[in-house]
Amino acid sequence: MEATKYEEWSLGLHQQAASQRVPISGTLEVTRRCNLTCVHCYNNLPLVDREVREAELSSQEYCQILDEIVDQGCLWLLFTGGEPFAKSDFLEIYTHAKKKGLLITLFTNGTLITPRIADYLVQWRPFSVEITLYGHTKETYERVTGIPGSYERCTRGIRLFMERDLPLKLKTMAIRPNKHELWDMKQFVEQDLGLEFKFDAMINPRFDCSVEPVAVRLTPEEIVELDLLDPERAMEWRRFDERFTCAVEASEQCTALYRCGGGINSFAIDPYGMLRLCILSQSASYDLRKGSFQAGWKSFLSAVRQTKTTRQSKCITCRIRAMCGMCPANGELEGRDPEEPIDFLCELAHLRAYALDISVTPHGECEYCRGGSKYEELMRAVAKLRRSSNKR
């Protein structure tokens, strides 16, 4: 199916699932252990941590959960980690998911891929595989991952998948240590390898509350500069605004804390069997070792979705909310408060909107809106960004 038709089809399915509350998409974080130690990572734990390994769901428990999620209507499944292939019985779990007919996306760092694994995936083909490339050169890649030899292992994994024509896409996290190689990575992947490439610059604090990853995060100005330097990316943001930016709702009618698809048409399960609205949301969880997925989905997550806001915030009637990473889970991770706007995200969303001529309407007291204390500064940044992107 061509990309735009596929997008329409998938969006239609999700909308239908949302109107009936069907768990159509799931994320299974099969392990948080990883063989790499990336500087920006929000959840990795040591590969050989025995205690962590023993706490993870067994393959039998996973197979039981897979049976239950399919019974409830799940169609799409994302396997992620940590590094999924760090879990020794991952292929057993994966194969069970395939046999259940799930459409599987696999996120991997690619470094543990062997010819045997690649051949196996040819036999049990995923819907798509995404490998994260952390740098164009070995030096930069390994500065991010912290592991000597990981660059060669990753490129070998890419080659093994490409030789077998597996549905591979490459991506990167744009962060301080690799920003200077971003366009080289894009050119290498798109032109030399002929694969799809995307990047993301959103970095979260770690689940254990460490803010270390945030130290390598790009500034809002640097992130928006990347948008402006890539016309396709700028166009995608404008398209996103036209399609998803919500109408401004009257604040008194907007009392729901959660406005995403979590618990409506999607869910996440961590390596220890805790069911949640999404992978980032850590506050409310249901133990699938103690109850069924059906009960977790139908009663627990449904109740979580009923949570109301406790106060008025500038996010409630913000027109660019869909473009902004601010959500209760991010609020909890970064500021310990699900309702408190995160200043970094707010600045980034406003700067991006102004730089791309996306309309921002008044939404209460906001320092980044016209008349706000940081508005003029943001406008100077927009002018500077436009000047520098016009020069290139």
Contacting residues toward ligand SF4, per CB under 6 A: 34, 36-38, 41, 44, 81-83, 109, 314-315, 318, 320-321, 324, 326, 341, 345-346, 349-350, 366
Which one-letter amino acid corresponds to residue 84?
Answer: P
Which C-beta is closer to ligand SF4: that of 83 or that of 181?
Answer: 83
Which C-beta is closer to ligand SF4: that of 100 or that of 259?
Answer: 259
Q: CB of residue 124 vs ligand SF4: minimum separation in angstroms?
A: 23
Q: CB of residue 40 vs ligand SF4: minimum separation in angstroms?
A: 7
Q: CB of residue 211 vs ligand SF4: minimum separation in angstroms?
A: 16
Q: CB of residue 252 vs ligand SF4: minimum separation in angstroms?
A: 17
Q: Which contiguous run of DSSP H or E holds residue 266?
A: strand 266-269
CA-derived radius of gyration, the chain: 21
CB atoms within 10 A of CB 386: 13
Helices of type H across the chain: 3-20, 50-55, 59-71, 90-99, 115-123, 138-145, 150-163, 182-187, 220-229, 231-244, 293-295, 302-305, 328-335, 343-355, 375-391
Per-residue DSSP letter, 305 = H
Q: Which residues contact 378 (CB under 8 A, 6 or more apart)?
A: 347, 350, 351, 354, 368
DSSP-assigned letters across all residues of 26-67: EEEE--SEES---TT-SS-EETT-HHHHHHSPPHHHHHHHHH
Helices and strands per DSSP (H, E), number in the chain: 15, 11
d(CA 113, CA 95): 16
- Residue 270 has which token pair? 């961590």
Which C-beta is closer to ligand SF4: that of 12 or that of 146?
Answer: 146
Q: CB of residue 340 vs ligand SF4: minimum separation in angstroms?
A: 9
Which C-beta is closer to ligand SF4: that of 269 or that of 320?
Answer: 320
Q: CB of residue 49 vs ligand SF4: minimum separation in angstroms?
A: 13
Q: CB of residue 228 vs ligand SF4: minimum separation in angstroms?
A: 19
Which C-beta is closer to ligand SF4: that of 63 or that of 313?
Answer: 313
- CA–CA–CA angle 179, 200, 363 (5° rounding): 115
Q: CB of residue 176 vs ligand SF4: minimum separation in angstroms?
A: 15
Phi and psi at residue 308, to the nearest 5°: -105, 155
Which C-beta is closer to ligand SF4: that of 37 or that of 128?
Answer: 37
Measure Cα distances from 114 to 1, 29, 151, 187 in Å: 30, 21, 15, 26
Which C-beta is closer to ligand SF4: that of 225 or that of 334?
Answer: 334
Which C-beta is closer to ligand SF4: that of 104 or that of 320?
Answer: 320
Q: CB of residue 377 vs ligand SF4: minimum separation in angstroms?
A: 16
- Do 331 and 338 contact (CB within 8 A), yes or no? yes
d(CA 392, CA 390): 6
Which C-beta is closer to ligand SF4: that of 125 or that of 171?
Answer: 171
d(CA 56, CA 81): 12
Q: CB of residue 73 vs ligand SF4: minimum separation in angstroms?
A: 29
- Do 350 and 326 contact (CB within 8 A), yes or no? no
Which C-beta is closer to ligand SF4: that of 80 or that of 285?
Answer: 80
